[in-house]
Amino acid sequence: MSGISPEPLLSVRGLAKRFGGLIATDGVDLDVMPGELHALIGPNGAGKTTLIAQLFGELRQDAGAIRLDGEEVGHLATPDRVHRGLGRTFQITQLLPDFTVLDNVALAVQARDGHSFRFLADARRDEGLRGRARRHVTASGLANRAETRVADLSHGEQKQLELAVALACEPRLLLLDEPMAGLGHVESGQMVETLRALKGRTTMLLVEHDMDAVFALADRVSVLVYGRIIATGTVEEIRDNPDVRTAYLGEGDA
């Protein structure tokens, strides 16, 4: 916890979102400090994905402020937020199924490279793009699957690719929505190691049900229940918080 500068990279104030009668986000305040891995936990249906979607501009909040590095981004469309340094992975993978692994990553590199109004040169023979993409693919452990179509990947590989694509965008703040969901024991462990290696280099907001992973990785943890943040603190503080234990962790369930 030491060494965190006082200005948060992400600062959320009074965020609210209703779906008809359902209050999915209920006055959320949240700060993510530069360099920290901030975990967001909470039971099914607590509103974690809905919160991420608002931060990323896929859902428009009913009220509240979202500031990235001091700048209000709550009114911006998703691509504009990406240009300002937000990235995300999806709980339910959102990849380009007809394209290869390398294509998916190269497209992210290309998007990072500026506009794509270039009509004549063969993008798949652009060694600048391909080289950078290949490095991200290798780093994610998918090197031997680079030329495989996404539709032919296993679920675990798709999860790895989700992360590789997000990292190819070089985000300042990475929103991770359950990167371990549906992974086996070994794959899960690999993902923990990958995220651990990322720690410090990229600021992360990690939504995850796997408590072992959360407690192993997080600098701080916020607990979301029925759309409200009921507690924020270090791993120890959260583990010992009686409200959290009753509302969410359940005795001995963690």
Partner 1 sequence: MRDTVTAQTGFAPPSAKPLLAAAAVIAALVLLPFVAQAAGSPATVALATRVLIYGIAAASLNLALGYGGLVSFGHAAFFGIGGYTVGILYQHYVADELILGLFTGSNQLLVTLPAAVVVSGLLASVIGALSLRTSGVQFIMITLAFAQMIFYLFASLTAYGAEDGLIVRRRNELFGLDTRNDTVFYFICLGVAAAFFALLSRIVRSRFGLVLVGLRQSERRMAAIGIAPYRYKLAAFVISGIGTGLAGALMANYLRFVSPDMLHWTKSGELMIMVILGGVGTLFGPLLGAAALVILETVLAAWTEHWQIILGPLLLAVVLFTRGGLQALLARLGGKP
Ligand X SMILES: Nc1ncnc2c1ncn2[C@@H]1O[C@H](COP(=O)(O)OP(=O)(O)OP(=O)(O)O)[C@@H](O)[C@H]1O
**Cα–Cα distance, 118 to 93 (Å, whole number):** 28
Is residue 24 near ligand X by the rule CB under 6 A? yes
Angle ∠(221,67,116) on CA atoms, nearest 5: 110
| HSE-CB for 93 with a 13 A CA cutoff | 24
Evaluate whether 177 touches 48 at the Cβ level (below 8 Å).
yes
How deeply is 222 buried, as exposed, middle or buried, from its count of CB atoms within 10 A (0-12, 13-18, 19+)?
A: buried
226 makes contact, choosing from Mg ion, ligand X, partner 1, none, with CB < 5 to 8 Å by partner type, with none
Nearer to partner 1 by C-beta: 95 or 235? 95
Q: What angle, rounded to 10 degrees, do the helices at 101-112 and 155-168 form?
A: 20
Nearer to ligand X by C-beta: 20 or 242? 20
Is residue 45 near ligand X by the rule CB under 6 A? yes
**Cα–Cα distance, 49 to 52 (Å, whole number):** 5
- Could you tell me which stretch among 5-13, 38-46, 126-134, 183-191 binds ligand X (CB under 6 A)? 38-46
Helices within 74-154 (DSSP H only): 78-83, 101-112, 127-139
Nearer to partner 1 by C-beta: 116 or 234? 116
Q: Which one of 4, 14, 22, 147 is in contact with ligand X (CB under 6 A)?
A: 22
Number of residues that bind Mg ion (CB under 5 A): 3
The residues binding partner 1 (CB under 8 A) are 56, 58, 77-80, 82-83, 87-88, 90, 94-100, 102-103, 106-108, 110-112, 116-124, 126, 147, 149, 151, 165-166, 168-169
Nearer to partner 1 by C-beta: 82 or 223? 82
The helix or strand, by DSSP H or E, that contains position 243, with its residue range, turns out to be: helix 242-244
Is residue 180 near ligand X by the rule CB under 6 A? no
Is residue 241 near Mg ion by the rule CB under 5 A? no
Count of helix runs (H) and strand runs (E) in the chain:
9, 10
**Cα–Cα distance, 239 to 80 (Å, whole number):** 37
Is residue 222 near ligand X by the rule CB under 6 A? no
Q: Which of the residues 45 through 64 are near Mg ion (CB under 5 A)?
A: 48-49
42 makes contact, choosing from partner 1, ligand X, Mg ion, none, with CB < 5 to 8 Å by partner type, with ligand X
Residues that bind ligand X (CB under 6 A): 19, 22, 24, 42, 44-50, 91
